[in-house]
Amino acid sequence: MGAPIAKYRDVHKSFGEVEVLKGIDLDIGPSEKVALIGPSGSGKTTIIRLLMTLEDPTSGTIEVNGKNLWHMESKNGLVPANEKYLREVRGDIGMVFQHFNLFPHMTILENCMTAPIHVKKERKETAKKRSLEMLEKVGLGDKVDLYPNQLSGGQKQRVAMARALVMKPKIMLFDEVTSALDPELVGEVLEVIRDIAKEGEMAMVLVTHEMDFALDIADRVLFLNDGVIEADGPPSEIIENPESERLQDFLSRFT
C-alpha cells in the first residue's frame, strides 16, 4: 500500500476517569475500505471522531495525509494547530453521521453547496455543478429543491453522503449510518455506499453492525474490544473464520 492516508500512533483517549481507547496503532491505506466492528462501547465511534478532529486524543498522535492533526510545523518546531490549519486538514476528511446532521432551513442542493463555498471558497457555479452531480450519483437528482423534512430517512442519509462527497475527501468516515433508519430503508443507503466503494479511489472507514455488508465491501476488518484492536485482517479471516473466542462470541449475535 502507498503512504497511509491515516496513521494512529499509540493513541489513548479518556473521558474523565474512563480510558476508552487504550493504545491504538493503525495505518489506513489510501484507498483501503475498513470496517470497524465490535461491541457497543468498545470505542469505535471515538476512533473515527478523533480522525474528524471532533475529539482530541489524551495522548499519542494521529496524522491524516501526512499532516499531524493537532500540531503544525512552525519556525519554533511543532505548535498547536490553528483554525486555518485544521480546516485544511479536515478538507481531506468526510464524515457521515448516524443522525444525518443536515441543515433543516436549506434545500438539499444548498446543503451540499454550503461547505465548498464557505470552507473551500469555491465559486458558486462550480459548487452547484458538483453538488448536482453528486446528488444525481446518490439517486436524488429530482429532489434537489426539497428541504430535508420532505425526505425519508434513507433519502436524508443519501443527501448527507452527497454533501460529504462534494468536498472530494481522501478518506470518508461512516458512523453507523444505517442504525437510525427503518429497516426497509437500510438497503438503499448501503447500495449507495457500495457504489462509492466500488469507484475505488477514496479510503473509507465504516463503523457497522451489518456483517454481510462488511464482508461484501471491506478489504479489511478491525475488531475493537474494550478500547483495543483485538483482530485486524481481511473479512474472510475476521468474519468468516474468527480465531478468538471473544470474536466468535461477538459474531454469533449477528447470525
Tell me whether residue 159 or residue 247 sits nearer to ligand ADP (CB atom). Answer: 247
Contact of 89 with 81, CB cutoff 8 Å: yes
Q: How far is the CB of 13 from ligand ADP (least distance, A)?
A: 8
* CB of residue 46 to ligand ADP, shortest distance in Å: 3
Is there binding between residue 205 and ligand ADP (CB under 6 A)?
no
List 18's β-bridge partners, or say none: 15
Beta bridge partners of 225: 228
- CB-CB contact of 167 with 160 (8 Å): no
Task: Compare residues 121 and 253 and give the one whose CB is closer to ligand ADP.
Answer: 253
Q: What are phi and psi of 243, to 5 degrees?
A: -90, -50
Site for ligand ADP contains 15 (CB under 6 A): yes
Would you count residue 41 as binding ligand ADP (CB under 6 A)? yes
Shortest Å, Cβ 176 to ligand ADP: 8
Provide the minimum distance between the beta carbon of 96 and ligand ADP in the complex, in angstroms, as a whole number: 15
DSSP string, 132-199: HHHHHHTT-TT-TTS-GGGS-HHHHHHHHHHHHHTT--SEEEEESTTTTS-HHHHHHHHHHHHHHHHH
Residues in Cβ contact with 84 at an 8 Å cutoff, skipping those fewer than 6 apart: none
Region binding ligand ADP by CB under 6 A among candidate stretches 33-41, 165-173, 185-193, 241-249? 33-41
Give the nearer residue to ligand ADP in terms of CB position, either 69 or 151.
69
66 binds ligand ADP (CB under 6 A): no
Residues that bind ligand ADP (CB under 6 A): 15, 20, 38, 40-46
